[in-house]
Structure 1
């Protein structure tokens, strides 16, 4: 199974919490799309198999692409890869971009899954985050999207300063009323060098309350479970048949190729990432040079990454798979460290699989780090 990720580094405006690579100037969008197509051609032989099972347009804001730009990208993909007939093709979209005309364009281009960045159905939350859409547009965009797409996911953010449990419950209930099959829900994190970080430091916004975020997480999990959603990854909830194939492939360590500025790629024992500068990216590709760095992953790197990604999922860490892939040394280390977490009721072991308990779910990344192998000699 192989995946293609295409990074569209443009946004109408900067969200206060975002630290992804993007530009709010779209004057060179057409030129950059042409370079994305060229990078696809230059890197067509990097994946172990040329058939793509998933394609994911991320960003930035991919819904800013015109029909002509989408066609250019799909033409480049189809010219250089074989795409599985029923491949999952996802595009991230902002509610303010989703007019009836744009939705038709996306559907006709071959997109079959939408991930809509709603974040909240409350105006005060959207303004705090500096989102480009309002609450009305959030509702209307989803209702329109359902006319063209069945497979729709929306993003919601919890742990927002000032968000009460009741307001968060209302957000969840509003989302559920729309009859969608998938939700991606994230705790608000304060990243360095973001506007939100500076606003908190200046006292303009209250700090994030970790305990409130944990309460929101527990509320979310309880409500969605009762409504028939499977909590298949820490931030993702889906109805049967609607789990994200693209993200699941990442968590299972499948190879993926990242195209565009700042995009990451992973194939077997190495990881690559492109420069996060649009101008330098375009200049390099124009000269036929790949503007990327490469890291060879050691056995320890791969073991630690396996533990981190799999422990976030309902599938957990397969103890025998650890031995098969990384050796008995890492299996022994894993069992020794995991026993401490089992005693604390943060992990459970059943049929050779380690999974996070309900008590430990909000702490899953920290639990994973406790299972890492750290070579003190390095």
Structure 2
């Protein structure tokens, strides 16, 4: 089983925390869609005829382009790949793009899961992070989606400078009234080449204190666990049976094909990424050239990926997988480090798997750093 990711790089405005490849120029949408469809044709053998169990439209803001384009891409995938009958097809959407017409057309073309970028319900904070919607639009969009889709996810951000504990609590309480099957809650990270990074350098903003971030993270966990959400990855909470199949594929290191400008792919041995430039991407595809860069993964890189990803999930770091695939026994090779982390109550061993404790769940980067080879 494999997945396909489609990167749609268009946005109405760029969020102040965003470091993804996006563009505000929509002049070449149709040309880009044609290039995406052609890349799918050229790379139809990349996944070795594996059955496709997930398709994910990300960006950017795929919800802002015509649903007909989305439908054409899905049709191209079905024409060139073996598609699972129980396929999960997700589209990332902004609240201001949620209309009855879009919802019905997406469903007609096969979209059966929506990931809605709410981020916060505080209008001042929405303006601060440069989102294109307000609270009223967000609430209305969640209501519309819940009336037409069984499977959807709400994205939230915590750790935003100025977003106090009580404001976040109000957001969560209001959102869970709609009983969303899935909630993704991300700690704000300030990356280079973002507005927030420049503001931070120029002392316009200050990072939220770690104590406050931990407090907000624990608040999220406690409220969602009481509502019977399962935390299956550090940022991902779902009702039983509603894990994101696509994202779970990343965390389980399943093969996936990334299509579109800046999209990444993984075949088990290599990681590759497409050029982050619409015009150069289109020009290359017009010449039947796939404009990507490739990196062969060493044994050490593969081990470290399994460690870094595994410790973030409910499945943990699988020593059996490490031994079988890479002939590396982490329980034996890292015994002293593991014993210390167990004594510090940060991890525990469940059969052949290393998992984070509740205390360790807020120190995942530290745990991973200690276990890396």
Distance in 1 of aligned mates of 2:79 and 2:237? 35
Residues in 2 aligned to 1:24 and 1:208: alpha-carbon distance in whole angstroms: 29
Structure 1 distance, partners of 2:243, 2:62, is 21
**2:345 matches 1:356:** no
Shift of 1:67: 2.6
Aligned to 1:161, what secondary structure does the other structure show?
coil
1:27 CA drift (Å): 1.0
DSSP 3-state at the match of 1:254: coil
Counterpart position of 1:272: 272
- Is structure 2 residue 125 aligned with structure 1 residue 125? yes
**1:182 — aligned with what?**
182
Offset from partner CA, 1:184-204 (integer Å, 9 cap, x none) = 000011111101111223333
Q: Distance in 2 between matches of 1:137 and 1:316?
A: 38
Q: Is the 8 A contact 1:323 1:331 kept in 2?
A: no
Q: What is the distance in 1 between the residues matched to 2:342 and 2:49?
A: 39
Matched residue SS, 2:49 = coil
Q: How many residues align?
A: 373
Question: 3-state SS of the aligned residue for 2:148?
Answer: coil
Aligned twin of 1:201: 201
TM-score (norm: length of structure 1): 0.96
Q: Distance in 1 between matches of 2:43 and 2:328?
A: 36
Pair 365,48 (structure 1): closer, same or farther in 2 beyond 3 Å: farther
Q: Distance in 2 between matches of 1:176 and 1:269?
A: 41
Residue correspondence of structure 1 range 323-362 to structure 2 within 5 A: 323-328=323-328, 330-362=330-362
SS of aligned partner of 2:147? coil
For residues 334 and 62 of structure 2, what CA distance do their matches in structure 1 show? 40
RMSD: 1.2
Deviation at 1:330, TM superposition (A): 4.8
Identify the range of structure 1 (67-76 vs 6-15) with the bigger mean alpha-carbon deviation. Answer: 67-76
In 2, distance between residues paired with 1:46 and 1:124?
45
Q: Contact 1:156–1:183 at 8 Å: present in 2 too?
A: yes
After superposition, the C-alpha distances for 1:8-51 in whole angstroms (9 at most, x for unaligned) are 01100000000000001111111101100000000000103342
User: What is the rounded CA distance, in whole Å, between the counterparts of 1:47 and 1:291 in structure 2?
Assistant: 18
**1:115 is paired with a residue of what secondary structure?**
strand
Who is 1:211 aligned against? 211
Q: Which residue of the partner structure matches residue 236 of structure 2?
A: 236
CA contact (8 A) 1:162 1:206 kept: no
Query: Shift in Å at residue 329 of structure 1?
Result: 5.5
SS in 2 for 1:117: strand
Gaps of 5+ in 2: none
Structure-2 residue corresponding to 1:136 = 136
Does the CA-based 8 Å contact 1:303-1:330 persist in structure 2? no
Three-state SS of the structure 1 residue aligned to 2:342 is: helix
Distance of aligned partners of 1:339 and 1:128 in 2 relative to their CA distance in 1, 3 Å threshold: same
Counterpart in the other structure of 1:220? 220
The residue aligned with 1:56 is 56
Does the CA-based 8 Å contact 2:319-2:329 persist in structure 1? no
| Match in the other structure for 1:296 | 296
Q: Following superposition of structure 1 onto structure 2, how do residues 11-26 of structure 1 map, counting pairs within 5 Å?
A: 11-26=11-26
Q: Note the C-alpha offset of 1:331.
A: 4.9
SS in 1 for 2:22: coil
The runs of 5 or more residues in structure 1 that have no matched partner are 374-378
Distance 1:64 1:170, change over 3 A: same
Counting only pairs closer than 5 Å after superposition, residues 32-51 of structure 1 correspond to structure 2 as 32-51=32-51
TM-superposed deviation, 1:310 = 1.1
Q: Which residue of 1 aligns with 2:72?
A: 72
1:284 aligns with 2:284: yes
Partner Cα separation in structure 1 for residue 53 and residue 364 of structure 2: 28
Render the CA deviation track for 1:151-181: whole Å, top value 9, x for unaligned: 0101000011111111111111011111111
